[in-house]
Amino acid sequence: MLADLLPGVTPFSLLALLSALGCALVAGVFLAFSSFVMAALGRLPAEQGLAAMQAINITVLNPLFLGLFFGTGLLSLGLIAGGISRWPTAGGLCLIAAGLLYVFGNLLVTMICNVPLNEVMAKIAPASPEGAVFWQRYLADWTLWNHLRTACTALAAILIMVALR
């Protein structure tokens, strides 16, 4: 049926295409934070920036973003398996690298670095003296890890596109 709808598209190439799209969309979200959202929040008084980021962290936990974020992770596992089956071709290596970049450079970094910072921040009163001190450290640390996630996810999308070529 897929062959009738999309001639030349195999189930695996569709998985790779959807993975590339997911990686690119997630990279775009992260790029927005790295390039201007965090800088804009950093220009606000600490109390306002902290409160705004707390609100963002609650709002981001929605089915659309979580589905895209974790769904792309599942697709990335499929890429790794597909890349192994295509080993040692250049396309296979690109798919394995892309899957690993998304899983380790995005999902793992998020869980080990960004989420713990968010959990600490969620417990801090924005108007407290502790909040002002924490906010400056949070801005630097969270943004650094976000830069890494952005680069890994964008590179994963590029590698998938190279493999599809």
Q: What average pLDDT is seen over the chain?
A: 95
Rounded-to-integer distance, Cα 79 and Cα 86, Å:
10
Q: How confident is the model at residue 34 (pLDDT cuts 50, 70, 90)?
A: very high
pTM across the whole model: 0.92
Which residues, 6 or more positions from 130, have their beta carbon under 8 angstroms from its beta carbon? 124
Q: Per-residue pLDDT tens for 70-82?
A: 999 999 999 999 9
Tokens describing residue 54: 């707390």
